[in-house]
């Protein structure tokens, strides 16, 4: 049995779903990876994964290049003849779906993981809503084949696709993200108590991640002379129209509102030395950063939106705040940091939730059960 995984970039697959591929390999599957770069080729081939790099851009603005990519994808799928094709994120799903319309193969199952609906689903403008309608139409084409199932990370996204008749309920599954090694991401039992508590946000520096609201909340707390450290960790993404500029971040740093650490590879130690995890995002699939934080025993402050609300039992392991409300965010941070016993209790509850819901053994078993449909 062959599985072909299809992703945009290898770094995403490496951080989220490599463990899934290795588990499938242990189950006896022959693993192939179709990806838009060669960054991990040597490393993955040493793991016994067949690596296929393809010409795939992020923006998709050059029509001829995109048509060429779809044609290339079609030929690769026909050549590999996978029993299972598993695609992650918007572009791989849509391009694989379109390529399937113009080909026939012996593949028994298409698994399309919708890891979030993206910025397009959030737009309130006429142009933005029109583009979202266009994307939904493409999704319908991608899911039209009867041997196709959808995997979602939260109930809201799943219900959106069912309501808009992209797919049927019987063909949709919920899986708790990508999973995490809860034996690696553990609380720091030796962390020193400090009066200067740290609130940590780990994400790309995008408006949709609530970075501006975090900075505005940091400014409010700074002017209140609250004794806390507001830290940002993550890349600037100049290719994303939602990205903040480095100048905007540096201005907040210069004013003393936030600390900006940029991209960091050792997220574990950052969480183990922080006190609260924060992500005031506008919408998520299921944020891996908050799963990691929960596993490290941190209370969570996040927004009451799809994907984020799934991470918090409000008042038990964290606090949900209104989206795009910097004042509510600042007040919640201040309240939690001023109530040490509650902060500790919420952190302990986060750890329990992570172990019970997000550990690899649960998540990977969910994917294996979906794959077994192909064997029926």
Asked if the structure places residue 302 within a domain, the reply is yes
Instruction: Say how many C-beta atoms besides its own lie within 10 A of residue 65's C-beta.
Output: 14
pLDDT in tens, 203-240: 999 999 999 999 999 999 999 999 899 999 999 988 78
What pLDDT score was predicted for residue 191?
Answer: 79
Average confidence (pLDDT) over 101-114 = 78
Asked if the structure places residue 84 within a domain, the reply is yes
What's the angle, vertex CA 209, arms to CA 208 and CA 212, rounded to 5? 85
Higher pLDDT, 342 or 147: 342
Q: Are 24 and 52 in contact, with CB atoms under 8 Å apart?
A: no
End-to-end CA distance of the chain: 13
What pLDDT score was predicted for residue 237?
Answer: 86
Longest distance between any two alpha carbons in the chain, whole Å: 65
Range of the domain at 264: 197-358
CA distance 54 to 175: 28
CA distance 18 to 64: 31
Q: Of the candidates 287, 294, 284, which has an alpha carbon nearest to the alpha carbon of residue 318?
A: 294
Judgement on whether residues 269 and 137 belong to the same structural domain of the protein: no
Percent of the chain predicted with pLDDT > 70: 95
What pLDDT score was predicted for residue 194?
Answer: 72
What pLDDT score was predicted for residue 189?
Answer: 87
Judgement on whether residues 112 and 212 belong to the same structural domain of the protein: no
Q: What is the DSSP string of 226-239?
A: --EEEEEES---TT
Judgement on whether residues 129 and 201 belong to the same structural domain of the protein: no
Domains of the chain: total: 2
Asked if the structure places residue 327 within a domain, the reply is yes
With 80 as the cut, is the pLDDT of residue 124 above it? no
Q: Are 247 and 254 in contact, with CB atoms under 8 Å apart?
A: no
Q: What b/e string do you get for 191-214 counting C-beta neighbours within 10 Å, with b at 16 or more?
A: eeeeeebbbbbbbbbbbbbbbbbb
Judgement on whether residues 333 and 278 belong to the same structural domain of the protein: yes
Judgement on whether residues 26 and 158 belong to the same structural domain of the protein: yes
Judgement on whether residues 158 and 283 belong to the same structural domain of the protein: no
Asked if the structure places residue 188 within a domain, the reply is no
Higher pLDDT, 147 or 220: 220
Higher pLDDT, 118 or 95: 95
Higher pLDDT, 338 or 238: 338
What CATH number does residue 266 fall under? 3.40.50.2000
Average confidence (pLDDT) over 244-270 = 95
Judgement on whether residues 243 and 292 belong to the same structural domain of the protein: yes
Q: Which of 66-75, 92-101, 312-321 has the highest mean pLDDT?
A: 312-321
Q: Of the candidates 135, 312, 122, 265, which has an alpha carbon nearest to the alpha carbon of residue 207?
A: 122
Average pLDDT for the chain: 91
What's the angle, vertex CA 208, arms to CA 291 and CA 307, rounded to 5? 35
With 90 as the cut, is the pLDDT of residue 303 above it? yes
Average confidence (pLDDT) over 245-253 = 95
Judgement on whether residues 156 and 208 belong to the same structural domain of the protein: no
Asked if the structure places residue 326 within a domain, the reply is yes
Judgement on whether residues 257 and 343 belong to the same structural domain of the protein: yes
Q: Are 281 and 211 in contact, with CB atoms under 8 Å apart?
A: no
Asked if the structure places residue 80 within a domain, the reply is yes
CA distance 172 to 185: 30
**Which residues are registered as beta bridge partners of 200?**
231, 277
Judgement on whether residues 270 and 349 belong to the same structural domain of the protein: yes
Give the pLDDT band (50/70/90) at residue 28.
Answer: very high
Angstrom distances, CA of residue 181 to CA of 230, 318, 354, 356, 357: 27, 21, 10, 12, 12
With 90 as the cut, is the pLDDT of residue 317 above it? yes
Pair of tokens at residue 283 = 């919408």
Cβ neighbours of residue 177 under 8 Å, at least 6 residues apart? 153, 285, 286, 288, 291, 358, 363
Q: Of the candidates 210, 213, 201, which has an alpha carbon nearest to the alpha carbon of residue 293?
A: 201
Cβ neighbours of residue 78 under 8 Å, at least 6 residues apart? 103, 105
Does the pTM surpass 0.85? The reply is yes
Asked if the structure places residue 50 within a domain, the reply is yes
Judgement on whether residues 338 and 369 belong to the same structural domain of the protein: no
Judgement on whether residues 367 and 349 belong to the same structural domain of the protein: no
Asked if the structure places residue 49 within a domain, the reply is yes
With 60 as the cut, is the pLDDT of residue 41 above it? yes
With 70 as the cut, is the pLDDT of residue 105 above it? no
What's the angle, vertex CA 215, arms to CA 213 and CA 221, rounded to 5? 105
What pLDDT score was predicted for residue 65?
Answer: 77
């Amino acid at each position: 049995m062959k599985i072909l995984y299809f992703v945009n970039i290898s770094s995403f697959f490496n951080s989220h779903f490599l463990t899934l591929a290795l588990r499938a390999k242990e189950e006896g599957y022959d693993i192939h990876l179709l990806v838009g770069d060669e960054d991990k080729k040597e490393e993955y081939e040493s793991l016994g994964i067949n690596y296929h790099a393809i010409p795939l851009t992020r923006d998709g603005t050059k029509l001829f290049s995109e048509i060429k990519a779809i044609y290339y994808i079609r030929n690769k799928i026909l050549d590999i003849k996978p029993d299972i094709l598993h695609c992650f994120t918007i572009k791989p799903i849509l391009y694989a779906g379109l390529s399937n319309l113009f080909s026939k193969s012996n593949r028994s199952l298409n698994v399309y993981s919708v890891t979030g609906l993206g910025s397009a689903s959030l737009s309130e403008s006429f142009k933005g809503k029109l583009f979202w309608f266009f994307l939904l139409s493409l999704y319908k084409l991608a899911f039209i084949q009867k041997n196709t199932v959808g995997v979602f990370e939260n109930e809201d996204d799943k219900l959106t696709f069912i309501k808009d008749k992209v797919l049927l309920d019987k063909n949709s599954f919920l899986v708790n993200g990508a999973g995490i090694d809860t034996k690696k991401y553990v609380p720091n039992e030796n962390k020193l108590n400090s009066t200067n508590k740290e609130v940590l946000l780990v994400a790309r520096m995008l408006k949709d991640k609530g970075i501006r609201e975090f900075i505005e909340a940091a400014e409010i707390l700074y002017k209140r002379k609250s004794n806390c450290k507001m830290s940002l960790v993550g890349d600037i993404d100049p290719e994303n129209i939602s990205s903040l500029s480095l100048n905007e971040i540096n201005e907040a740093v210069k004013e003393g509102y936030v600390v900006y650490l940029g991209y960091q590879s050792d997220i574990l130690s950052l969480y183990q030395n922080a006190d609260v995890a924060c992500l005031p995002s506008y919408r998520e699939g299921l944020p891996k950063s908050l799963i990691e934080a929960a596993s490290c025993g941190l209370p969570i402050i996040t927004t009451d939106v799809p994907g984020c609300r799934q991470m918090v039992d409000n008042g038990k392991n964290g606090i949900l705040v209104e989206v795009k409300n910097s004042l509510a965010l600042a007040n919640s941070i201040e309240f939690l940091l001023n109530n040490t016993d509650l902060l500790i209790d919420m952190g302990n509850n986060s750890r329990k939730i992570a172990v019970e819901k997000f550990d690899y053994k649960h998540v990977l078993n969910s994917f294996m059960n979906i794959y077994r449909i192909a064997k029926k």
